[in-house]
Amino acid sequence: MKKIEYSEIQISFSETTTYDLKQLNQKATSFWDDLSIGPIYHINTEVGQKKRQQWLFKNISFDEHYFSDFIQCLKEIHSIPKDLPITIWKGDCARDHLGLCFIISLLEGQNQIRVIHASKAYKELFHKDYEVFSTGQLSSEEISKIYEKSKENPFLTNLEKTNLKKEWETFLNSTNLLRVRKGDLVLSVEENHLDLFIIECAKKLDAQNSFCDAIRLIGTALDDYEQLIQDRFWEYRLRTLITQGIFKIEGSLESYSTYKVKLAIK
């Protein structure tokens, strides 16, 4: 069988996007780790990577094979030939921006790198009243049209790469557990940054007077918040608020589909 020669490689932060790109006969890989949550302090070292794994396993219920999977992902990125152009797909979410900064920091060679800002391209192409935060929200047809529109985007300049690497260094030296978007920026914030919003969502669901399903509360927070933060971090904060006595609980904490919560103070 003749080996296919690819003219570039696509990197996305969504496995569904990577699948869609492969269906378009593109060489594609995904960086699946959500660096917007959990510790990333010195994650460029083995100690930092293992501390992140331990925190995620304890608080977010990540797979125990996280570390080996993470190392394998790094090897794939490092193995990209230095003369092969790279296209990185990103949406308007902290996760994708952190992933972009991280990957740029890994690619110290001479790769030409272009970025497809999928959220922006979606607005320009489809004119729908629908906010796209992640490429994972896009259909395969939308991915195809965005690629055709954006495949000739200019490559990042050396200055743009340097600025992204400097930004990554700032994140790398922060001990905060959450990164969020603030306008066009991504900032490190305290882990309790979302707590008041969770309480407001609970009041919206009348949880100061009666128990409501935790899954419904988390779903409301996901839908109403102005940006994309994964459900497991929302539940981590809800469990923390339960521990702090802010919420009462009814049921089992086995998963957020098996318990209800009620505000302890009206």
3-state secondary structure the chain: CCCCCCCCEEEECCHHHHHHHHHCCCCEEECCCCCCECCCCCCCCHHHHHHHHHHHHHHCCCCCCHHHHHHHHHHHHHCCCCCCCEEEEECCCHHHHHHHHHHHHHCCCCCCEEEEEHHHHHHHHHCCCCCCCCHHHCCHHHHHHHHHHHCCCCCCCHHHHHHHHHHHHHHHCCCCCEEEEECCEEEEECHHHHHHHHHHHHHHCCCCCCCEEHHHHHHHHHHHCCCCCCHHHHHHHHHHHHHCCCEEEEECCCCCCCEEEEECCC
| pLDDT at residue 181, rounded to an integer | 94
Domains by residue range for the chain, with CATH: 9-172 (no CATH), 190-263 (1.10.10)
Question: pLDDT tier at 198 (50, 70, 90 boundaries)?
Answer: very high
The number of C-alpha atoms within 13 Å of 132 and in the hemisphere containing its C-beta is 24
| pLDDT at residue 32, rounded to an integer | 87
CA 12 to chain centre: 11
Share of the chain above pLDDT 70, in %: 97
The pLDDT tens digits for 4-40 are 778 899 999 999 999 999 999 999 999 989 999 999 9
Mean local confidence (pLDDT), 159-171? 95
| Apex 192 CA angle, 254 and 68, nearest 5 | 55
Non-local CB neighbours of 15 within 8 Å, separated by 6+ positions: 30, 32, 136
CA 252 to chain centre: 28
User: Going edge to edge, which strands form the sheet with 247-251?
Assistant: 212-213, 259-263, 247-251
pLDDT higher than 60, residue 253? yes
Q: What is the mean pLDDT of the chain?
A: 92
Mean local confidence (pLDDT), 185-209? 96
Mean local confidence (pLDDT), 165-189? 95
The pLDDT tens digits for 210-250 are 999 999 999 999 999 999 999 999 999 999 999 999 999 99
| pLDDT at residue 12, rounded to an integer | 96
| pLDDT at residue 3, rounded to an integer | 63
The pLDDT tens digits for 82-96 are 889 999 999 999 999
Q: Are 107 and 80 in contact (CB under 8 A)?
A: yes
| pLDDT at residue 6, rounded to an integer | 82
| pLDDT at residue 47, rounded to an integer | 94
Share of the chain above pLDDT 90, in %: 77
What is the C-alpha separation between 36 and 102, in angstroms, rounded? Answer: 11
What is the C-alpha separation between 246 and 265, in angstroms, rounded? Answer: 7
User: Going edge to edge, which strands form the sheet with 9-12?
Assistant: 28-30, 9-12, 86-90, 113-117
Mean local confidence (pLDDT), 186-193? 96
Q: Which two tokens stand for residue 63?
A: 């797979």
| pLDDT at residue 124, rounded to an integer | 92
What is the C-alpha separation between 243 and 92, in angstroms, rounded? Answer: 33
The pLDDT tens digits for 36-77 are 999 999 999 999 998 999 999 899 876 677 778 888 888 999
pLDDT higher than 60, residue 2? no
Higher-confidence position of 261 and 53: 261
